[in-house]
Every structure is written in structure tokens, then in C-alpha cells.
């Protein structure tokens, strides 16, 4: 049995080995972009079913962001929402026979985690400036600086392992079961996998949002926070 | 005789087995508490079940960590080369 | 286990590109559409609120007007009631006054009638009394009565002054109730001093007594005249 931790390079573009996960990611990107382009082509003032569904997605996203962090969703909507949609579609891509979800590969999850790490810095600097971002490490007091610095790495690493472990374990278990009894038996596990994929996508997005908003809040001076 | 593969396999099994105990108990308690809360406040069932699923996923993560460690031992054991 | 850093970087770039493109293609337009519709809905709502306010104002006006009408009506009713009350009072007072006047008049009339009746009865009683007296007197013996009257007449004639007695002798009429006999005529003549030209007339209506008429003097001395006097007095008293 192949190790789930290793990726097989299909071919190389220059120095870059192209794995199946990268190809699937490109496919997902194409599907998402084309779908979004096709769906948002004609937005009118009086929404039809299609537009109502789109607006429902956006509104739900806004509501979740507002509920979990209390922040205005507008600046974060693009990043968090795209993260959620991408992870969700990637997790569910295992429904297509012969495809492994890209999130079952270490590289994809690591890339997502790195992106969250960078986005925390990016939004923190945007919210309170460089000084504000650095000050956010001294919250709630100066003694916590080393712990906060450590935490900023470990929490991202935790997200990385969590997403990878969940998705990979689902794929792994299904692979084992399918190798034992091919027909119909894996179906309940696949259904469970769907739920896990949805919940993990939600958790990943919400955690990223929580980290970002915590950094922004800690970096904002007290006087501005009142406004 | 090389004991390292044998030890790795045994340790991987133990990691998954014992790593599953804690999350299992925790999930049981969480579900019981959620049921209690829903019984008390049926109108808050939506919020409670959503939070329950998220919490279950977080708890499950600890078991997943153990699984990852086990897989590391089995497939990416640095000692085995 | 090896982490392929080329793959990691490539995936990170992929996701970043996806974030950028989706933000441009999906999130912003949909959010803009939501905002646009919310603004439109807000405008509609404010319009509706304006209309509602207008309608409320109109309703308030109508209500006010209705209240005014009601108040006016109540005032008119009150004044009408008051007027009616006053009129009723006046009518009643008038009627009471009229009734009192009528009662008063009736009382007066009744008094008058009673008075008249009483007078009438008194008069009738007087008349009756006089008639009864006359009839009673008529039953007396005419001669005896005439003798008494004759004595009185003689005394009265003798009591007259000389001048009047002389006037009597120049002629007159002596009315008597019963025919005067010669002795009686002689006594009269003696009383007068000489026999005047007296004519003797009999009138039974006198009942008893004499009436002596001369040219200037009438001397009544009869029950008839006495009864007349009494009757007159009685009627006056009534």
C-alpha cells in the first residue's frame, strides 16, 4: 500500500514536480472561477433563484464572520470565503472516482496554513500598522510575548495537521475498506466523509477568522477600539 | 533480529488505541451535554447542534493527531531509513 | 516523509490566485448587488414611510374634523335642549298663570254669582215676606184698622202748619183702602177746619190706611206704603 504521506509526481515543469493534487487544484480553480463567472454575469436588482442562492451564500458567510468575531465582514469576506469554498470543494472532490482530494496531501494543507499565517500578519499590519501588529504579541501582558510568538506558529501548524489528518484519514479508511469489500460498503463512510469535509472546511475558515480578528483587535490601540 | 519495525508497529497500534479513548469519552460527554441543552431549550437546537459538530470535530482532532503519529511510525519512520 | 516545498509554494500561489480572482469575480459583485438591493429597499421603505406619514396626517385631520363636528353637534343639541327647556318653562309658567287667572276669575265669578243668588234670594224672601205681611194684614178687620188710621190722619193733619192746612183745603184727593163712611169724612173735615173740595177714592191695594194728595203735598199713611218702605229697606240691606 502506498504511503498516504507521500505524493507521486506525475511529471515535471522545470524544477517543479507536478503531483495529482496540483492538477486537481487547478481543476477546482477552473470550476470555481468559471462557475462564479457564469453565475454572476447578470446580477439584477430583483433577484431570481440563482442570484438569491448566491446572495444567500454571501449573507451566510457575512453572518458567520460577524457572529464569531463581531468584526465587519467586508475586508475578510474574500479571503475567508474563498478559503472555505476551496477547502469544501477540495474535500468533496473525493466523490469523483479516481480523484484524491488535494487537501489529503501535505503540500496543499501546508500551503493553506502558511497562507493563514501570512494573512494574520497582513491583516494585523493593515489593522494597526506594524507597531500594532508587534504590540499584539504583548497581549494580555509583556510576559506572554514568547508564548504568543510560539502560539502563532503552533496554532497554524495545528490547523494544518487537523485538516490533513481528517481528510487523509477519510481517504485512507475508504481505501482500506474498498480494498476489503469493494461494492456499497464504503458508502456510509463516504457520507461521513462528506460531513467531515464540510465541518473541517467550516472550522478552518472560522479559526482563520478568529486568529485574524484576535490579532487585529489586540493590535488596535484602546482609544480606537472604542469607536 | 531487528526489533525496530516490530516496535514501530506495536507503538502505532497503541497510539491509535489509547489516543482514541480520550476523544471517545470527551465526545460522549459533549453529546450528552448537548442533548441535555436541547431538551432544556428546543428552540436553540440549531445553534447547539452547530456548535456541537464543531466541538466534536475539534475533539476528534486529538484522535486524528494520534492517527497521524501512527502513520508516521508506519510509513515515514525516520529510524527505519 | 518529505515535504515538497515546490509543491507547497505552487499550491500557495494557486490558492492566492483563486482568492484574488474569486474576490473580483464572485464576492464583490454579489455583495455589491446585496448592498444595492438593500439601498433600493431602504428607499422604498422610506417612500412608504412618507406615504404612511401622509396618510396618518390625513387620517388625523379627518379625525379632528369629525371631532369638531361631533362637538358642534353636541353644542347644538345642548343649546336646543336648553331653549326647549326655557320654552317649556315659559309655557308652563304661562299656563300656570292662565290657570291661576282662570281659577281666580272662576272664583270671582262664583262669588258674584253666589252674591247675586244671595241677593236674589234675599229679594225674593223680602218680597215673600212683604206679601205674607200684606196678606196677614188684609185679614185684619178693615173698619177697626181704618178707625186707627183715621185717628192718626186726623192727628197728623192737626199737626200740620196752618199754611199747609190751608193748602189742603184748596182741594185734593184722599185715597182710602175702604170706603170712608160719613163719620170719618166729618172727622177729617173737622180736622181741616172747613170742608175742602176733597174727593174720596177707594183703593183696596192700600190694604189699610190713607193717602192724602193735594196740589203740593202727598201724605202717605198706609200699610201699603209701609210695606213698600220695608221692602225697599230690605232690598237695600241686601
Residue A226's pLDDT is 47
Which pLDDT value is given to residue C64?
95
CATH superfamily of B4-74: F1F0 ATP synthase subunit C (1.20.20.10)
Which of A38-47, C34-43, C169-178, C203-212 shows the highest mean pLDDT?
A: C34-43
> What span, in angstroms and rounded, lies between the C-alpha atoms of B63 and B20?
5
What are the residue ranges spanned by the domains of chain B? 4-74
Residue scoring higher pLDDT (C153 or A36): A36
Query: Nine-digit cell at A148?
Result: 504568543
Q: How confident is the model over A152-203, as pLDDT tens digits?
A: 888 898 889 899 988 988 888 888 898 888 788 888 888 989 998 999 999 8
Beta bridge pairs of residue A19: A9
Which H or E run includes A11?
strand A9-13
Cα separation, A114 vs A163, in Å, equals 13
| Inter-CA distances, C26 with A39, A41, A226, C85, Å | 8, 10, 33, 86
Query: Where along chain C do its domains lie?
Result: 59-139, 141-237
Whether residue A219 contacts residue A137, with contact meaning beta carbons closer than 8 Å, is answered with no
Query: pTM of the prediction?
Result: 0.63
C84-122 pLDDT tens trace: 999 999 999 999 999 999 999 999 988 888 888 888 888
What pairs with residue C199 in β-bridges? Answer: C173
pLDDT digits (tens, 9 = 90+) for A46-66: 777 888 888 888 888 888 888
**Could you tell me the pLDDT band of residue C78, with boundaries at 50, 70 and 90?**
very high
Res C8: pLDDT: 85
> Would you say B30 and B59 are in contact if contact means Cβ atoms under 8 Å apart?
yes
Residue A216 has pLDDT above 90, yes or no: no
Q: Which of A174, A175, A176 is nearest to A192 (CA)?
A: A174
Do C126 and C238 meet the contact criterion of CB atoms below 8 Å apart? yes
pLDDT of A227 reads: 45
Q: What is the pLDDT of residues A6-35, one digit of tens each?
A: 777 778 887 888 888 888 999 999 999 998
In which band, very low, low, confident or very high, does the pLDDT at A2 lie, cut at 50, 70 and 90?
A: low
Judged by average pLDDT, the poorest of A54-68, A107-121, B28-42, C197-211 is C197-211
Q: Contact partners of C by the rule of 3+ C-beta pairs under 8 A?
A: A, B
SS3 C222: strand
Task: Give the chain C residue nearest B76 (alpha carbons).
Answer: C1
Say if the Cβ atoms of B58 and A196 lie within 8 Å. Answer: no
Query: pLDDT at position A215, please?
Result: 86
- C172-176 vs C209-214, strand pairing mode: antiparallel
Report the residue of chain A nearest C29, measured CA to CA.
Answer: A40
| Residue located via cell numbers 181741616 | C192
A3 → closest Cβ in B58, B60, B76: B76
Q: Does A53 touch chain C (CB under 8 A)?
A: no
Which residues touch A208 (CB under 8 Å, ≥6 apart)?
Answer: A79, A80, A83, A116, A119, A159
User: Could you tell me the end-to-end alpha-carbon distance of chain A, in angstroms, rounded to an integer?
Assistant: 59
Which chain A residues contact residue C3 at CB under 8 A? 106-107, 110
With an 8 Å Cβ cutoff, is C1 touching chain B?
yes
In terms of Cβ atoms closer than 10 Å to its own Cβ (0-12, 13-18, 19+), residue A85 is buried
DSSP bridge partners of A206: none
pLDDT in tens, C28-66: 888 888 888 889 999 999 999 999 999 999 999 999 999
Tell me the per-residue pLDDT of A99-119, one tens digit each, with 9 for 90 and over.
889 998 888 899 999 999 999
Amino acid at each position: 500500500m502506498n504511503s498516504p504521506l507521500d505524493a507521486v509526481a506525475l511529471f515535471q515543469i522545470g524544477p517543479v514536480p507536478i503531483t495529482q493534487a496540483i492538477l486537481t487544484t487547478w481543476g477546482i480553480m477552473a470550476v470555481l472561477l468559471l462557475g462564479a463567472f457564469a453565475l454572476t454575469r447578470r446580477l439584477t436588482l430583483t433577484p431570481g433563484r440563482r442570484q438569491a442562492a448566491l446572495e444567500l451564500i454571501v449573507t451566510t458567510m457575512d453572518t458567520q464572520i460577524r457572529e464569531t468575531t463581531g468584526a465587519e465582514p467586508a475586508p475578510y469576506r474574500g479571503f475567508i470565503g474563498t478559503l472555505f469554498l476551496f477547502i469544501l470543494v477540495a474535500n468533496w472532490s473525493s466523490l469523483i472516482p479516481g480523484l484524491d482530494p488535494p487537501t489529503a496531501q501535505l503540500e496543499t494543507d501546508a500551503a493553506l496554513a502558511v497562507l493563514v499565517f501570512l494573512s494574520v500578519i497582513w491583516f494585523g499590519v493593515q489593522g494597526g500598522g506594524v507597531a500594532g501588529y508587534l504590540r499584539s504579541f504583548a497581549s494580555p501582558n509583556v510576559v506572554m510575548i514568547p508564548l504568543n510568538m510560539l502560539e502563532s506558529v503552533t496554532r497554524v501548524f495545528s490547523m494544518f495537521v487537523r485538516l490533513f489528518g481528517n481528510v487523509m484519514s477519510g481517504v485512507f479508511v475508504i481505501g482500506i475498506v474498498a480494498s476489503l469489500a469493494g461494492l456499497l460498503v464504503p458508502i456510509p463512510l463516504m457520507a461521513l466523509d462528506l460531513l467531515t469535509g464540510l465541518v473541517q472546511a467550516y472550522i478552518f475558515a472560522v479559526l482563520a477568522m478568529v486568529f485574524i480578528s484576535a490579532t487585529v483587535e489586540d493590535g488596535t490601540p484602546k482609544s480606537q477600539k472604542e469607536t | 533480529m531487528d526489533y525496530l519495525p516490530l516496535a514501530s508497529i506495536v507503538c502505532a497500534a497503541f497510539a491509535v488505541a489509547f489516543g482514541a479513548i480520550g476523544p471517545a469519552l470527551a465526545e460522549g460527554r459533549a453529546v450528552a451535554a448537548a442533548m441535555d441543552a436541547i431538551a432544556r431549550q428546543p428552540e436553540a437546537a440549531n445553534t447547539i447542534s452547530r456548535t456541537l459538530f464543531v466541538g466534536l470535530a475539534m475533539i476528534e482532532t486529538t484522535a486524528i493527531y494520534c492517527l497521524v503519529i501512527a502513520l508516521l511510525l508506519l510509513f515515514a519512520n525516520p529510524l527505519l531509513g | 516523509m518529505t515535504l515538497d516545498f515546490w509543491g507547497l509554494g505552487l499550491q500557495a500561489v494557486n490558492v492566492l490566485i483563486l482568492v484574488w480572482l474569486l474576490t473580483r469575480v464572485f464576492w464583490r459583485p454579489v455583495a455589491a448587488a446585496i448592498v444595492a438591493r438593500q439601498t433600493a429597499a431602504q428607499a422604498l421603505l422610506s417612500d412608504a414611510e412618507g406615504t404612511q406619514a401622509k396618510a396618518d396626517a390625513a387620517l388625523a385631520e379627518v379625525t379632528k374634523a369629525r371631532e369638531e363636528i361631533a362637538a358642534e353637534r353636541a353644542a347644538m343639541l345642548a343649546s336646543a335642549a336648553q331653549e326647549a327647556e326655557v320654552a317649556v318653562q315659559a309655557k308652563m309658567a304661562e299656563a300656570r298663570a292662565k290657570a291661576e287667572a282662570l281659577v281666580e276669575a272662576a272664583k270671582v265669578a262664583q262669588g258674584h254669582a253666589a252674591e247675586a243668588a244671595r241677593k236674589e234670594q234675599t229679594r225674593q224672601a223680602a218680597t215673600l215676606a212683604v206679601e205674607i205681611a200684606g196678606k196677614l194684614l188684609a185679614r185684619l178687620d178693615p173698619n177697626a184698622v181704618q178707625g186707627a188710621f183715621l185717628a192718626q190722619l186726623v192727628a197728623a193733619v192737626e199737626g200740620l202748619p196752618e199754611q199747609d192746612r190751608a193748602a189742603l183745603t184748596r182741594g185734593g184727593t184722599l185715597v182710602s183702602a175702604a170706603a170712608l163712611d160719613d163719620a170719618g169724612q166729618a172727622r177729617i173735615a173737622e180736622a181741616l177746619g172747613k170742608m175742602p173740595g176733597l174727593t174720596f177714592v177707594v183703593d183696596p191695594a192700600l190694604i189699610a190706611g190713607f193717602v192724602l194728595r193735594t196740589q203740593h203735598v202727598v201724605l202717605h199713611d198706609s200699610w201699603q206704603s209701609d210695606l213698600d218702605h220695608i221692602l225697599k229697606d230690605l232690598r237695600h240691606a241686601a
